[in-house]
Amino acid sequence: MDIMASQERLNKNWVWKYFLKLDNSFIKCNIYSCDQTYKIQYGKIKRTIAIAKRHLYHLHNIWNEEDRLKWENDNDLIWRYFDKIGLYKVKCKFCGSFYCQAYIPCLRQHLQNHSQEMKDTVRKEIVDKSLLQYFEIDEEFNAHCKRCNLKINLLYGKDVLRYHICFKKYVCNSKYQLEDNNVNRMRQQSIPEKTGTSSHHDINRQAPRNKNQQR
C-alpha cells in the first residue's frame, strides 16, 4: 500500500506540467521551443524527476518553494564534502569541480574519485577525537563497535561514530547488562543451597534441663 501511494505521488509531481512522457523511455520538455529530451532509466523515476527539476531551474528559472527549502535544509552527510552554491548547484571541496545536480546519489559517485582523501580526513578526525577506544577499523575502512559490533561506513565522517556513542550507548549497555544478568542468574542456579546439619535425632533430642527442672 505504501509503495503504491509513493508511486502515485511521483506520478502527480509538479514537474509533469512541463514535461511530456513520449513513451516508457524518454521525457521531453514542452516549454516554448526547448524540446530537450531525457532518457528514463528503468526503475529510477526519482532520478528522472530530479533531472527534470534541475533542467527547469537552470534553463527556465522554474522551481518549487517546497523543493527549495528541502534542498537548503537537507543535512545529508555528503555535505561535508560539497558546498551548496545555489539551488541544485554544488562545488566539490576536494577538487573544486562544480556540478548542477539535484540527485544526491550522483554526487556520491563523484566522491569515489576522492576515496583516499576522504579516508585521510576521517582518520585524522577519529584520532583527534579519541574515538578509537570504542571502535575497531577494518581494511575496507569500516568501523566496528567494540560493544555491539555494529558496522559503520567511515567515509562520511566521525559524526556517525559520535552519534552511535551518544545515542546508541544505552542500547549497547542494555545488551551487555542483560547478558551479565543472565550469567549471574546461571551462576546462582549452579550454587547448591545450604542445608541444615541437624539430623532427625538432633531435632527430636530434648533440650537439657536446668537445675530447677532436675529437682
DSSP, res 92: E
Q: What is the pLDDT along the chain (215 residues), one digit of tens a residue?
A: 455 555 566 678 999 999 998 887 899 999 988 989 999 877 788 899 999 999 999 999 999 999 999 999 998 888 989 999 999 999 999 999 999 999 988 998 898 899 888 888 877 877 766 777 888 878 777 888 888 888 887 776 677 777 777 655 555 554 444 444 444 454 455 445 444 444 344 434 444 444 444 44
Radius of gyration of the chain (CA): 34
Look at residue 38 in the predicted model and tell me its pLDDT: 94
pLDDT of residue 200: 40
In Å, the largest CA–CA distance within the chain is: 132
> Hunting for cell 535425632 — which residue is that?
201
How is residue 158 annotated by DSSP? T
Residue 128 has a pLDDT of 64
138 touches 91 (CB < 8 A): no
Residue 63: what pLDDT?
A: 95
Q: What length does the chain have?
A: 215
pLDDT of residue 175: 45
Query: What beta strand segments (E) does 30-184 contain?
Result: 37-39, 82-86, 89-92, 98-100, 135-137, 142-145, 151-153
Reported pTM = 0.64
Compute φ and ψ for 151, nearest 5 degrees.
Answer: -95, 125
Instruction: State the DSSP code for 32.
Output: T
pLDDT at site 207: 43
- pLDDT at position 204: 41
Q: What is the pLDDT of residue 45?
A: 86
Distances (CA, A) of 112 to 84, 100, 104, 108: 19, 18, 14, 7
* Cα–Cα distance measured from residue 63 to residue 95, given in angstroms and rounded to the nearest whole number: 29
Round to whole Å and give the CA distance between 189 and 33: 84
Given this model, what pLDDT does residue 54 score? 96
3-state secondary structure at position 84 = strand
Q: What 3-state class would DSSP assign to 177?
A: helix
